[in-house]
Protein backbone atom coordinates (compact mmCIF):
# COMPACT_ATOMS: atom_id res chain seq x y z
CA UNK A 1 0.00 0.00 0.00
CA UNK A 2 2.90 2.34 0.80
CA UNK A 3 4.22 1.95 -2.74
CA UNK A 4 1.05 3.46 -4.09
CA UNK A 5 1.33 6.69 -2.18
CA UNK A 6 3.77 8.37 -4.50
CA UNK A 7 1.84 7.65 -7.67
CA UNK A 8 -1.48 8.53 -6.17
CA UNK A 9 -0.04 11.77 -4.87
CA UNK A 10 1.12 12.64 -8.36
CA UNK A 11 -2.28 11.86 -9.79
CA UNK A 12 -3.96 13.81 -7.00
CA UNK A 13 -1.92 16.82 -8.02
CA UNK A 14 -3.05 16.51 -11.60
CA UNK A 15 -6.67 16.23 -10.58
CA UNK A 16 -6.38 19.07 -8.12
CA UNK A 17 -4.73 21.41 -10.58
CA UNK A 18 -8.00 22.45 -12.18
CA UNK A 19 -9.65 22.86 -8.80
CA UNK A 20 -6.82 24.97 -7.44
CA UNK A 21 -6.82 27.18 -10.49
CA UNK A 22 -10.36 28.25 -9.79
CA UNK A 23 -9.96 28.20 -6.02
CA UNK A 24 -7.09 30.65 -6.24
CA UNK A 25 -9.43 33.26 -7.59
CA UNK A 26 -11.50 33.04 -4.45
CA UNK A 27 -8.89 32.64 -1.77
CA UNK A 28 -5.80 34.72 -1.29
CA UNK A 29 -3.36 31.91 -0.65
CA UNK A 30 0.11 31.47 -2.10
CA UNK A 31 -0.12 28.20 -3.94
CA UNK A 32 2.70 28.86 -6.39
CA UNK A 33 4.76 25.76 -5.54
CA UNK A 34 1.75 23.49 -5.94
CA UNK A 35 0.69 25.22 -9.14
CA UNK A 36 4.08 24.83 -10.78
CA UNK A 37 4.26 21.16 -9.81
CA UNK A 38 0.87 20.40 -11.28
CA UNK A 39 1.52 22.43 -14.40
CA UNK A 40 4.72 20.51 -14.98
CA UNK A 41 3.07 17.14 -14.73
CA UNK A 42 0.17 17.88 -17.05
CA UNK A 43 1.83 20.10 -19.65
CA UNK A 44 2.67 17.75 -22.45
CA UNK A 45 0.27 15.44 -24.22
CA UNK A 46 2.93 12.71 -24.40
CA UNK A 47 3.22 12.84 -20.66
CA UNK A 48 -0.42 12.09 -20.12
CA UNK A 49 0.01 8.51 -21.35
CA UNK A 50 2.96 8.20 -19.00
CA UNK A 51 0.76 9.42 -16.16
CA UNK A 52 -2.03 7.06 -17.16
CA UNK A 53 0.40 4.12 -17.17
CA UNK A 54 1.78 5.17 -13.80
CA UNK A 55 -1.71 5.37 -12.35
CA UNK A 56 -2.47 1.95 -13.85
CA UNK A 57 0.59 0.50 -12.15
CA UNK A 58 -0.33 2.02 -8.80
CA UNK A 59 -3.93 0.85 -9.02
CA UNK A 60 -2.68 -2.62 -9.98
CA UNK A 61 -0.43 -2.82 -6.94
CA UNK A 62 -3.30 -1.79 -4.67
CA UNK A 63 -5.82 -4.22 -6.15
CA UNK A 64 -3.33 -7.08 -6.25
CA UNK A 65 -1.80 -6.50 -2.84
CA UNK A 66 -2.87 -9.98 -1.70
CA UNK A 67 -2.66 -11.72 -5.05
CA UNK A 68 -0.28 -14.28 -6.47
CA UNK A 69 0.91 -14.49 -10.05
CA UNK A 70 0.29 -17.77 -11.90
CA UNK A 71 3.79 -19.12 -12.34
CA UNK A 72 3.37 -21.05 -15.57
CA UNK A 73 5.15 -19.06 -18.25
CA UNK A 74 3.57 -20.92 -21.20
CA UNK A 75 0.12 -19.89 -20.04
CA UNK A 76 1.23 -16.32 -19.30
CA UNK A 77 2.73 -15.95 -22.79
CA UNK A 78 -0.31 -17.59 -24.35
CA UNK A 79 -2.73 -15.15 -22.72
CA UNK A 80 -0.35 -12.25 -23.39
CA UNK A 81 -0.09 -13.15 -27.08
CA UNK A 82 -3.86 -13.27 -27.52
CA UNK A 83 -4.18 -9.97 -25.65
CA UNK A 84 -1.44 -8.25 -27.62
CA UNK A 85 -2.88 -9.45 -30.93
CA UNK A 86 -6.32 -8.12 -29.93
CA UNK A 87 -4.86 -4.82 -28.76
CA UNK A 88 -3.27 -4.34 -32.19
CA UNK A 89 -6.80 -4.18 -33.63
CA UNK A 90 -7.79 -1.20 -31.46
CA UNK A 91 -7.28 2.55 -31.61
CA UNK A 92 -4.51 2.31 -28.99
CA UNK A 93 -2.15 -0.38 -30.32
CA UNK A 94 1.01 1.27 -29.06
CA UNK A 95 0.41 1.69 -25.34
CA UNK A 96 2.41 -0.71 -23.13
CA UNK A 97 -0.16 -3.50 -22.89
CA UNK A 98 0.55 -6.09 -20.19
CA UNK A 99 -1.54 -9.21 -19.65
CA UNK A 100 -1.15 -11.18 -16.45
CA UNK A 101 -2.77 -14.37 -15.20
CA UNK A 102 -3.51 -14.31 -11.49
CA UNK A 103 -3.68 -17.50 -9.46
CA UNK A 104 -7.18 -17.32 -8.05
CA UNK A 105 -10.08 -19.71 -8.46
CA UNK A 106 -12.88 -17.16 -8.61
CA UNK A 107 -14.29 -15.78 -11.86
CA UNK A 108 -12.67 -12.42 -12.45
CA UNK A 109 -10.97 -10.31 -15.09
CA UNK A 110 -10.20 -6.64 -14.85
CA UNK A 111 -8.21 -3.77 -16.32
CA UNK A 112 -6.39 -0.78 -14.91
CA UNK A 113 -5.49 2.40 -16.83
CA UNK A 114 -2.57 2.36 -19.22
CA UNK A 115 -3.09 -1.18 -20.54
CA UNK A 116 -2.82 -3.55 -17.57
CA UNK A 117 -5.17 -6.50 -17.94
CA UNK A 118 -5.65 -9.30 -15.40
CA UNK A 119 -7.49 -12.59 -15.63
CA UNK A 120 -7.77 -15.33 -13.02
CA UNK A 121 -7.05 -19.02 -13.46
CA UNK A 122 -10.65 -19.57 -12.28
CA UNK A 123 -11.89 -17.73 -15.36
CA UNK A 124 -9.63 -19.71 -17.70
CA UNK A 125 -11.11 -22.92 -16.30
CA UNK A 126 -14.63 -21.82 -17.19
CA UNK A 127 -13.84 -21.08 -20.82
CA UNK A 128 -13.86 -23.66 -23.59
CA UNK A 129 -11.81 -22.16 -26.40
CA UNK A 130 -9.49 -19.37 -27.42
CA UNK A 131 -12.28 -17.32 -29.01
CA UNK A 132 -14.08 -17.17 -25.66
CA UNK A 133 -10.90 -16.05 -23.92
CA UNK A 134 -10.35 -13.48 -26.68
CA UNK A 135 -13.87 -12.15 -26.05
CA UNK A 136 -13.20 -11.69 -22.33
CA UNK A 137 -9.80 -10.04 -22.94
CA UNK A 138 -11.25 -7.79 -25.66
CA UNK A 139 -13.91 -6.60 -23.18
CA UNK A 140 -11.18 -5.55 -20.73
CA UNK A 141 -9.09 -4.02 -23.53
CA UNK A 142 -12.12 -1.91 -24.47
CA UNK A 143 -12.23 -0.42 -20.96
CA UNK A 144 -8.65 0.76 -21.44
CA UNK A 145 -9.21 2.01 -24.99
CA UNK A 146 -12.18 4.09 -23.82
CA UNK A 147 -10.40 5.06 -20.56
CA UNK A 148 -13.42 4.04 -18.51
CA UNK A 149 -11.58 3.58 -15.22
CA UNK A 150 -9.36 6.61 -15.70
CA UNK A 151 -12.39 8.83 -16.32
CA UNK A 152 -14.29 7.32 -13.40
CA UNK A 153 -11.37 7.86 -11.03
CA UNK A 154 -10.93 11.46 -12.13
CA UNK A 155 -14.64 12.19 -11.90
CA UNK A 156 -15.05 10.67 -8.45
CA UNK A 157 -11.85 12.20 -7.16
CA UNK A 158 -12.87 15.65 -8.32
CA UNK A 159 -16.18 15.39 -6.49
CA UNK A 160 -14.77 13.88 -3.33
CA UNK A 161 -11.68 16.01 -3.06
CA UNK A 162 -13.38 19.28 -3.98
CA UNK A 163 -15.25 19.34 -0.68
CA UNK A 164 -12.05 18.72 1.27
CA UNK A 165 -10.24 21.35 -0.71
CA UNK A 166 -12.79 24.03 0.09
CA UNK A 167 -12.49 23.13 3.78
CA UNK A 168 -8.70 23.16 3.54
CA UNK A 169 -8.64 26.57 1.89
CA UNK A 170 -10.98 27.99 4.51
CA UNK A 171 -8.88 26.56 7.34
CA UNK A 172 -5.72 27.97 5.80
CA UNK A 173 -7.33 31.40 5.93
CA UNK A 174 -4.65 33.24 4.01
CA UNK A 175 -1.72 31.61 5.79
CA UNK A 176 0.68 30.66 2.99
CA UNK A 177 2.69 28.40 5.31
CA UNK A 178 -0.27 26.10 5.72
CA UNK A 179 -0.83 25.79 2.00
CA UNK A 180 2.00 23.29 1.77
CA UNK A 181 0.08 21.00 4.09
CA UNK A 182 -1.52 19.55 0.99
CA UNK A 183 1.78 17.87 0.18
CA UNK A 184 2.41 16.52 3.62
CA UNK A 185 -1.12 15.55 4.52
CA UNK A 186 -1.86 12.06 3.28
CA UNK A 187 -5.61 12.42 3.64
CA UNK A 188 -5.98 13.48 0.00
CA UNK A 189 -4.12 10.43 -1.18
CA UNK A 190 -6.10 8.22 1.14
CA UNK A 191 -9.28 9.68 -0.30
CA UNK A 192 -8.07 8.86 -3.77
CA UNK A 193 -7.08 5.40 -2.68
CA UNK A 194 -10.57 4.85 -1.32
CA UNK A 195 -12.02 6.23 -4.56
CA UNK A 196 -10.00 3.75 -6.60
CA UNK A 197 -11.03 0.87 -4.37
CA UNK A 198 -14.68 1.93 -4.50
CA UNK A 199 -14.67 2.09 -8.28
CA UNK A 200 -13.12 -1.36 -8.60
CA UNK A 201 -15.30 -2.81 -5.88
CA UNK A 202 -18.63 -1.37 -7.07
CA UNK A 203 -17.84 -1.56 -10.76
CA UNK A 204 -18.09 0.90 -13.59
CA UNK A 205 -21.24 2.58 -14.83
CA UNK A 206 -23.66 0.20 -16.54
CA UNK A 207 -23.23 1.95 -19.89
CA UNK A 208 -19.43 1.53 -19.70
CA UNK A 209 -19.83 -2.22 -19.24
CA UNK A 210 -22.30 -2.49 -22.11
CA UNK A 211 -20.05 -0.41 -24.35
CA UNK A 212 -17.11 -2.70 -23.52
CA UNK A 213 -19.26 -5.73 -24.39
CA UNK A 214 -20.13 -4.29 -27.80
CA UNK A 215 -16.63 -3.03 -28.58
CA UNK A 216 -15.01 -6.22 -27.37
CA UNK A 217 -17.01 -8.36 -29.79
CA UNK A 218 -15.93 -6.16 -32.70
CA UNK A 219 -12.28 -6.22 -31.61
CA UNK A 220 -12.39 -10.03 -31.39
CA UNK A 221 -13.92 -10.15 -34.87
CA UNK A 222 -11.20 -7.83 -36.22
CA UNK A 223 -8.57 -10.17 -34.79
CA UNK A 224 -10.06 -13.08 -36.77
CA UNK A 225 -11.88 -14.75 -33.89
CA UNK A 226 -15.48 -15.90 -33.90
CA UNK A 227 -17.09 -12.90 -32.14
CA UNK A 228 -20.18 -14.85 -31.09
CA UNK A 229 -18.07 -16.93 -28.71
CA UNK A 230 -18.47 -14.02 -26.30
CA UNK A 231 -22.27 -14.42 -26.35
CA UNK A 232 -21.68 -18.03 -25.37
CA UNK A 233 -19.56 -16.85 -22.42
CA UNK A 234 -22.34 -14.55 -21.21
CA UNK A 235 -24.89 -17.34 -21.63
CA UNK A 236 -22.75 -19.66 -19.53
CA UNK A 237 -22.38 -16.94 -16.89
CA UNK A 238 -26.14 -16.32 -16.99
CA UNK A 239 -26.80 -20.02 -16.39
CA UNK A 240 -24.45 -20.60 -13.47
CA UNK A 241 -24.01 -17.22 -11.79
CA UNK A 242 -25.17 -17.37 -8.20
CA UNK A 243 -24.37 -15.93 -4.80
CA UNK A 244 -21.34 -18.12 -4.19
CA UNK A 245 -17.95 -16.60 -3.49
CA UNK A 246 -16.89 -17.81 -6.94
CA UNK A 247 -19.09 -15.12 -8.48
CA UNK A 248 -19.23 -12.58 -5.65
CA UNK A 249 -16.78 -9.98 -6.95
CA UNK A 250 -17.78 -10.39 -10.56
CA UNK A 251 -21.50 -10.02 -9.79
CA UNK A 252 -20.97 -6.91 -7.73
CA UNK A 253 -19.08 -5.21 -10.53
CA UNK A 254 -21.14 -6.14 -13.58
CA UNK A 255 -24.76 -5.78 -14.67
CA UNK A 256 -26.57 -9.16 -14.71
CA UNK A 257 -25.59 -11.31 -17.70
CA UNK A 258 -29.25 -11.41 -18.79
CA UNK A 259 -29.30 -7.62 -19.08
CA UNK A 260 -26.05 -7.66 -21.04
CA UNK A 261 -27.37 -10.29 -23.44
CA UNK A 262 -30.47 -8.20 -24.13
CA UNK A 263 -28.29 -5.12 -24.74
CA UNK A 264 -26.17 -7.11 -27.21
CA UNK A 265 -29.07 -8.24 -29.42
CA UNK A 266 -28.43 -5.74 -32.23
CA UNK A 267 -24.66 -6.34 -32.19
CA UNK A 268 -25.24 -10.09 -32.23
CA UNK A 269 -27.56 -9.71 -35.21
CA UNK A 270 -24.97 -7.76 -37.15
CA UNK A 271 -22.06 -10.06 -36.34
CA UNK A 272 -23.87 -13.40 -36.35
CA UNK A 273 -22.98 -14.32 -39.94
CA UNK A 274 -19.30 -13.60 -39.38
CA UNK A 275 -17.14 -16.64 -39.38
CA UNK A 276 -14.00 -16.74 -37.32
CA UNK A 277 -11.55 -19.00 -35.57
CA UNK A 278 -12.53 -20.74 -32.35
CA UNK A 279 -9.21 -22.54 -31.71
CA UNK A 280 -10.53 -25.03 -29.16
CA UNK A 281 -7.66 -27.44 -29.57
CA UNK A 282 -4.95 -24.81 -29.05
CA UNK A 283 -6.77 -23.66 -25.91
CA UNK A 284 -7.11 -27.18 -24.53
CA UNK A 285 -3.51 -28.05 -25.34
CA UNK A 286 -2.33 -24.99 -23.48
CA UNK A 287 -4.51 -25.34 -20.42
CA UNK A 288 -4.69 -29.10 -20.06
CA UNK B 1 -27.32 -63.15 -19.77
CA UNK B 2 -23.98 -61.69 -18.89
CA UNK B 3 -24.25 -59.11 -16.11
CA UNK B 4 -21.68 -56.97 -17.94
CA UNK B 5 -24.09 -56.43 -20.84
CA UNK B 6 -26.83 -55.43 -18.45
CA UNK B 7 -24.58 -52.87 -16.78
CA UNK B 8 -23.36 -51.58 -20.12
CA UNK B 9 -26.92 -51.30 -21.36
CA UNK B 10 -27.97 -49.43 -18.23
CA UNK B 11 -25.03 -47.03 -18.48
CA UNK B 12 -25.83 -46.45 -22.16
CA UNK B 13 -29.46 -45.77 -21.27
CA UNK B 14 -28.38 -43.27 -18.60
CA UNK B 15 -26.00 -41.44 -20.90
CA UNK B 16 -28.42 -41.20 -23.81
CA UNK B 17 -31.29 -40.09 -21.58
CA UNK B 18 -29.09 -37.35 -20.09
CA UNK B 19 -28.05 -36.20 -23.53
CA UNK B 20 -31.61 -35.97 -24.74
CA UNK B 21 -32.80 -33.75 -21.90
CA UNK B 22 -33.22 -30.10 -22.81
CA UNK B 23 -30.30 -27.91 -21.78
CA UNK B 24 -31.63 -24.56 -22.96
CA UNK B 25 -34.79 -22.59 -23.69
CA UNK B 26 -35.97 -19.68 -25.82
CA UNK B 27 -36.51 -16.23 -24.27
CA UNK B 28 -38.76 -15.03 -27.08
CA UNK B 29 -40.67 -16.50 -29.99
CA UNK B 30 -38.25 -17.35 -32.75
CA UNK B 31 -38.43 -19.23 -36.08
CA UNK B 32 -36.74 -22.62 -36.35
CA UNK B 33 -34.95 -22.50 -39.69
CA UNK B 34 -33.58 -25.19 -42.01
CA UNK B 35 -30.16 -23.52 -42.33
CA UNK B 36 -28.08 -21.17 -40.10
CA UNK B 37 -29.17 -18.13 -42.06
CA UNK B 38 -32.21 -15.87 -42.30
CA UNK B 39 -32.78 -17.22 -45.82
CA UNK B 40 -33.42 -20.71 -44.44
CA UNK B 41 -36.95 -22.05 -44.73
CA UNK B 42 -39.09 -21.98 -41.60
CA UNK B 43 -39.59 -25.43 -40.07
CA UNK B 44 -41.79 -24.09 -37.28
CA UNK B 45 -42.15 -21.12 -34.98
CA UNK B 46 -40.95 -21.70 -31.43
CA UNK B 47 -42.80 -19.95 -28.63
CA UNK B 48 -41.06 -18.14 -25.82
CA UNK B 49 -40.01 -20.64 -23.17
CA UNK B 50 -39.64 -23.60 -25.53
CA UNK B 51 -37.24 -26.19 -24.11
CA UNK B 52 -34.58 -27.38 -26.50
CA UNK B 53 -31.38 -29.34 -26.84
CA UNK B 54 -28.40 -27.48 -28.35
CA UNK B 55 -26.52 -29.73 -30.78
CA UNK B 56 -23.89 -27.30 -32.05
CA UNK B 57 -23.12 -23.65 -32.68
CA UNK B 58 -22.17 -22.04 -35.95
CA UNK B 59 -21.45 -18.32 -35.75
CA UNK B 60 -24.53 -16.72 -34.20
CA UNK B 61 -26.69 -19.79 -34.69
CA UNK B 62 -27.47 -22.82 -32.56
CA UNK B 63 -28.55 -26.06 -34.16
CA UNK B 64 -31.26 -27.27 -31.81
CA UNK B 65 -33.47 -30.27 -31.32
CA UNK B 66 -37.09 -29.74 -30.33
CA UNK B 67 -40.10 -32.06 -30.58
CA UNK B 68 -41.01 -30.33 -33.87
CA UNK B 69 -37.69 -31.34 -35.37
CA UNK B 70 -34.11 -30.22 -35.72
CA UNK B 71 -33.14 -26.84 -37.11
CA UNK B 72 -31.31 -23.58 -36.51
CA UNK B 73 -32.24 -20.60 -34.34
CA UNK B 74 -30.48 -17.36 -33.44
CA UNK B 75 -28.31 -18.04 -30.41
CA UNK B 76 -29.13 -14.66 -28.86
CA UNK B 77 -32.75 -15.82 -28.39
CA UNK B 78 -31.57 -18.68 -26.18
CA UNK B 79 -30.57 -19.02 -22.54
CA UNK B 80 -28.82 -22.04 -21.08
CA UNK B 81 -30.32 -24.01 -18.23
CA UNK B 82 -28.34 -24.32 -15.06
CA UNK B 83 -26.33 -27.55 -15.37
CA UNK B 84 -26.83 -30.37 -12.89
CA UNK B 85 -24.84 -29.93 -9.68
CA UNK B 86 -22.12 -32.37 -10.70
CA UNK B 87 -21.41 -30.38 -13.84
CA UNK B 88 -21.09 -27.03 -12.12
CA UNK B 89 -17.77 -28.07 -10.65
CA UNK B 90 -14.97 -25.90 -11.91
CA UNK B 91 -14.52 -27.38 -15.34
CA UNK B 92 -12.45 -30.33 -16.34
CA UNK B 93 -9.21 -28.64 -17.26
CA UNK B 94 -6.33 -29.54 -15.03
CA UNK B 95 -3.54 -27.05 -14.61
CA UNK B 96 0.10 -27.78 -15.10
CA UNK B 97 1.50 -26.35 -11.97
CA UNK B 98 3.49 -27.38 -9.01
CA UNK B 99 1.36 -25.16 -6.86
CA UNK B 100 -2.13 -25.99 -5.66
CA UNK B 101 -5.01 -23.71 -6.42
CA UNK B 102 -6.22 -22.43 -3.12
CA UNK B 103 -9.29 -20.54 -2.17
CA UNK B 104 -8.26 -17.21 -0.82
CA UNK B 105 -9.37 -16.40 2.68
CA UNK B 106 -11.67 -13.48 2.21
CA UNK B 107 -12.01 -11.04 5.02
CA UNK B 108 -14.76 -8.57 5.61
CA UNK B 109 -13.08 -6.11 3.31
CA UNK B 110 -14.87 -6.45 -0.02
CA UNK B 111 -11.99 -4.89 -1.89
CA UNK B 112 -9.96 -8.03 -1.39
CA UNK B 113 -9.97 -8.98 -5.01
CA UNK B 114 -7.74 -11.90 -5.14
CA UNK B 115 -5.83 -13.33 -2.30
CA UNK B 116 -3.57 -16.16 -1.31
CA UNK B 117 -0.41 -14.32 -2.25
CA UNK B 118 1.93 -11.61 -1.18
CA UNK B 119 1.04 -9.16 -3.92
CA UNK B 120 2.67 -8.50 -7.26
CA UNK B 121 5.62 -6.31 -8.09
CA UNK B 122 6.04 -4.11 -11.15
CA UNK B 123 8.85 -6.43 -12.21
CA UNK B 124 6.40 -9.33 -12.25
CA UNK B 125 4.02 -7.37 -14.46
CA UNK B 126 6.85 -6.84 -16.95
CA UNK B 127 8.03 -10.43 -16.75
CA UNK B 128 5.79 -11.88 -19.47
CA UNK B 129 5.78 -8.96 -21.88
CA UNK B 130 4.79 -9.94 -25.42
CA UNK B 131 5.99 -7.87 -28.36
CA UNK B 132 3.87 -6.94 -31.36
CA UNK B 133 6.02 -9.21 -33.55
CA UNK B 134 5.52 -12.16 -31.19
CA UNK B 135 1.78 -11.54 -31.16
CA UNK B 136 1.66 -11.44 -34.97
CA UNK B 137 3.59 -14.71 -35.23
CA UNK B 138 1.25 -16.26 -32.66
CA UNK B 139 -1.79 -15.13 -34.66
CA UNK B 140 -0.33 -16.57 -37.85
CA UNK B 141 0.21 -19.95 -36.19
CA UNK B 142 -3.49 -19.98 -35.34
CA UNK B 143 -4.54 -18.91 -38.87
CA UNK B 144 -5.85 -15.65 -37.43
CA UNK B 145 -5.81 -12.77 -39.85
CA UNK B 146 -6.84 -9.20 -39.15
CA UNK B 147 -9.93 -7.86 -40.91
CA UNK B 148 -11.76 -4.57 -40.99
CA UNK B 149 -14.92 -4.51 -38.87
CA UNK B 150 -16.59 -1.26 -37.84
CA UNK B 151 -17.89 -0.72 -34.35
CA UNK B 152 -21.59 -1.37 -34.26
CA UNK B 153 -23.83 1.61 -33.67
CA UNK B 154 -26.91 0.84 -31.67
SS (H, E, C) A43-99: CCHHHHHHHHHHHHHHHHHHHCCCCCECCCHHHHHHHHHHHHHHHCCCCCCCCCCEE
The phi-psi region of residue B58 (left if phi > 0; otherwise alpha if psi is between -120 and 50; otherwise beta) is beta
Closest residue in A to B54 (Cα–Cα):
A232
**A270 touches B152 (CB < 8 A):** yes
Residue A130 falls inside a structural domain = yes
When mean pLDDT is compared across A83-87, A234-238, B131-135, the lowest value belongs to A234-238
Please tell me the distance in Å from A268's CA to the nearest CA on chain B: 7
In a shared domain, residues A137 and A157:
no
Closest residue in A to B58 (Cα–Cα):
A275
For residue A113, report the phi and psi dihedrals to the nearest 5 degrees. Answer: -55, 150
Q: Is the dihedral of CA A224, A225, A228, A231 positive or negative?
A: negative
In a shared domain, residues A162 and A250:
no
Residue A126 falls inside a structural domain = yes
In a shared domain, residues A138 and A91:
yes
pLDDT at A235 over 90: yes
Q: Which of B88, B112, B130, B127 is nearest to A104 (CA)?
A: B112
d(CA A170, CA A15): 20
* Surface of B (93-132) touching A: CB under 8 A: 93-97, 99, 101-104, 106, 110-122, 124-132
Number of cross-chain residue pairs from A and B with Cβ atoms under 8 Å apart? 231
- Could you give the number of structural domains in chain A? 2
Which of A170, A201, A232 represents a domain boundary (last residue)?
A: A201
| Confidence grade of residue A96 (pLDDT, cut at 50, 70, 90) | very high
**Least CB-CB distance to B97: which of A72, A239, A275?**
A72
Quickly count helices (H) and strands (E) in chain A: 15, 3
Residue A242 falls inside a structural domain = yes
Which of A183, A201, A219 represents a domain boundary (last residue)?
A: A201
In a shared domain, residues A82 and A193:
no
Q: What is the pLDDT of residues B43-56, one digit of tens each?
A: 999 999 999 999 99
Residue A121 falls inside a structural domain = yes
Determine how many CB atoms are found less than 10 A away from the CB of residue B104. Answer: 19
pLDDT at A10 over 80: no
pLDDT number for residue A163? 59
ipTM of the predicted assembly exceeds 0.90? no
Residue A61 falls inside a structural domain = no
pLDDT number for residue B18? 40
A2, A221, A272, A278: best mutation site toward chain B, by most B Cβ within 10 Å?
Answer: A272
B93 with A282: Cβ contact below 8 A: no
A88 with B127: Cβ contact below 8 A: no
A154-183 average pLDDT score: 59
Which of A158, A179, A201 represents a domain boundary (last residue)?
A: A201
d(CA A73, CA A19): 45
In a shared domain, residues A97 and A85:
yes
| Percentage with pLDDT > 90 across chain B | 55
When mean pLDDT is compared across A103-112, A170-179, A227-236, the lowest value belongs to A170-179
Could you tell me the pTM of the whole model?
0.78
pLDDT number for residue A171? 64
Q: Which of B146, B59, B144 is nearest to A229 (CA)?
A: B59
**A254 touches A268 (CB < 8 A):** no
In a shared domain, residues A156 and A211:
no
Contacts of B134 in chain A (CB under 8 A): 77, 81, 84
Please tell me the distance in Å from B6's CA to the nearest CA on chain A: 34
A142-155 average pLDDT score: 91
B93-to-A72, A122, A123, A125 alpha-carbon distances in Å: 15, 10, 11, 6
Residue A62 falls inside a structural domain = no
B114, B120, B135: best mutation site toward chain A, by most A Cβ within 10 Å?
Answer: B114
Query: Where in chain B are the domains?
Result: 22-81
pLDDT at A112 over 90: yes
B82-111 average pLDDT score: 39
In a shared domain, residues A51 and A170:
yes
Residues 6+ apart with CB under 8 A from A250: A106, A107, A108, A237, A241
CATH of domain B22-81: 2.30.30.40
Closest residue in B to A53 (Cα–Cα):
B122
Please tell me the distance in Å from A45's CA to the nearest CA on chain B: 24
In a shared domain, residues A129 and A208:
yes
Residue A262 falls inside a structural domain = yes
A235 with B91: Cβ contact below 8 A: no
pLDDT averaged over every residue in chain A: 80
| Percentage with pLDDT > 70 across chain A | 73
In a shared domain, residues A141 and A216:
yes
d(CA B48, CA B81): 14
pLDDT at A73 over 90: yes
- Structural domain of A129: 67-145+204-287
Please tell me the distance in Å from B14's CA to the nearest CA on chain A: 23
Q: Sheet holding B78-80: strands in order across?
A: B42-46, B30-33, B69-74, B61-66, B51-58, B24-26, B78-80
In a shared domain, residues A166 and A279:
no
Residue A100 falls inside a structural domain = yes
In a shared domain, residues A167 and A231:
no
In a shared domain, residues A139 and A9:
no
* Surface of B (12-51) touching A: CB under 8 A: 37
d(CA B149, CA A144): 19
pLDDT number for residue B112? 46
B138 with A110: Cβ contact below 8 A: no
Name, of A23-32, A161-170, B3-12, B13-22, the range with top average pLDDT: A161-170
Amino acid sequence: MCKSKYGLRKISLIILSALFLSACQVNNINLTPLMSATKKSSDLFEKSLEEEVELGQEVSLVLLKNAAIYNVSDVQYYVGSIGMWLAQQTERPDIPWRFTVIRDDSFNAFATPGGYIYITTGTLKQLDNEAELAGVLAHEISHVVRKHHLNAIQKEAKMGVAADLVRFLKDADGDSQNSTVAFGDHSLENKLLMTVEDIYSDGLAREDELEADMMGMVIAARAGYDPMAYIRVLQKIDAVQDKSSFWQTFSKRHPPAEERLIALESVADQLSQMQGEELSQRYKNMLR
Amino acid sequence: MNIKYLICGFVFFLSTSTFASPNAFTVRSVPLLSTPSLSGSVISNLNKGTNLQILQRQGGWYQVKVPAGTGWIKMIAVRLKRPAAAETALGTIQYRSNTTLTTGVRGLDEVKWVSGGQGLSLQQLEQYKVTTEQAEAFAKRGSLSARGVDYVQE
